[in-house]
Chains A and B, each alone.
Chain A
């Protein structure tokens, strides 16, 4: 199939950037979205142009490195799917596809579709951990954990840190990401001692990074490739309010 791509090109952080149109010919429906871009890039390189820069690594939906806004939707319209797992069979022959980077002030564009998500690391640094030096842990069976709690904690812990939630949120909020980590640790006995200081520190860091506030629009969970639920945000709010008292 043949496609028209409208891609955000920005040569560096200081460039204003613009949409540029490319034709992608003979695209196979079995290609992944990134493979389609690979093919476009191979051609660009040979023509002496700069290929479209985009982040990716595992290409199996787990590392969280990939991500672009495709036709106005973070990671594209297929639900619960990262960009790297999206396949071209979901597009029609002759379609026009717009491709843009995550847009948020705390995620400045580095080049084309590549953005700087280090704000997420700093949110984790603020408190997204359990303090336990290597070698000091008690036996793993010392504290039983209810299966339901372990499962719920796991569900929250599956966040891959891709940033789609921020990209999709009309407020540019990082609540879903932050809440996923807070919830993961707050559901486990191991996370209790630091529970409240963790919530407070992480939320404050999120605000300090310049992310917007949550107005519960649900856009985040709708595009989240791991389906992190809004419940996590309620959990975050509970812990945060408790910590602020």
Chain B
């Protein structure tokens, strides 16, 4: 979980930075998208690096989900009889929604790919420029898309808040004083990511970016 999670966290950070390019205008964003696709050309074919990254990412997602499912199944097996009453004592909402939050995020990703990556369900259409897809996608008329996006991003943030320090814990890197720092770091990182991801769609929706 920790390792595959880390791969995805890395991706998310880059993805977010990329998204922010929209604030420099459509051109800049499209250029960035193009640059990604032509990276290391001619050593690799068009979309070469991107495809590799995508495969890596896809593997990470699958492995992450596989690990999650294994853990869940083990948990089920370890507690065949449920409690009549059960009250949580640990603090942290984030911790409690890892499983369902994860599933929700997975569903969202499918939609997200269809919408903004492949443009299948995007008003700008399949063969449009990336920036157009993004801007068309988050028009006020499609407020519900933005709403779904916002909720999903917040879920991602919560998922990360627990996920990141948890990864450190699983790899045995948190002890004593470091725990507080790692937990704070995870919180800060998640918050930055959430803000970074939320900025473009909200800006588009409220007409700041056109």
Contact = CB atoms under 8 A, between A and B. Distances in A.
B85 A100 contact: yes
Given A213-B75, A215-B71, A216-B166, A103 B82 contact: yes
Interface string A37-54: 000000000000000000
Please tell me the size bucket of the interface on B.
35 or more
B52 interface: no
B141 interface: no
A218 B86 CA distance: 15
A19 B83 CA distance: 11
B34 interface: no
Contact of A71 (B79, B85, B179): B85
A32 interface: no
Given A231-B179, A237-B172, A210 B89 contact: no
A233 B81 contact: no
A173 interface: yes
Contacts, number: 114
Given A72-B85, A212-B71, A223-B89, A172 B172 contact: no
Interface in A206-245: 210-219, 221-223, 230-231, 233-241
Interface in B159-210: 162, 165-166, 168-176, 179
A233 B74 contact: no
Contact of B89 (A6, A17, A73, A105): A73
Given A105-B80, A231-B175, A235-B175, A215 B98 contact: yes
A234 B172 contact: yes
Contacts of A239: 172
Highest count of chain A CB atoms <10 Å: which of B96, B170, B173, B179: B170
A71 B87 contact: yes
Contacts of B166: 215-216
B117 interface: no
A213 B71 contact: yes
Interface of A: 6, 8, 17, 19, 69, 71-73, 77, 98, 100, 103-106, 168, 170-173, 210-219, 221-223, 230-231, 233-241
Given A100-B85, A212-B77, A221-B90, 15 more contacts: A17-B81, A105-B79, A210-B77, A215-B71, A215-B98, A215-B166, A217-B90, A217-B95, A218-B92, A218-B95, A219-B90, A222-B90, A223-B89, A236-B172, A238-B173
Interface of B: 1, 70-71, 74-75, 77-92, 95-96, 98, 162, 165-166, 168-176, 179
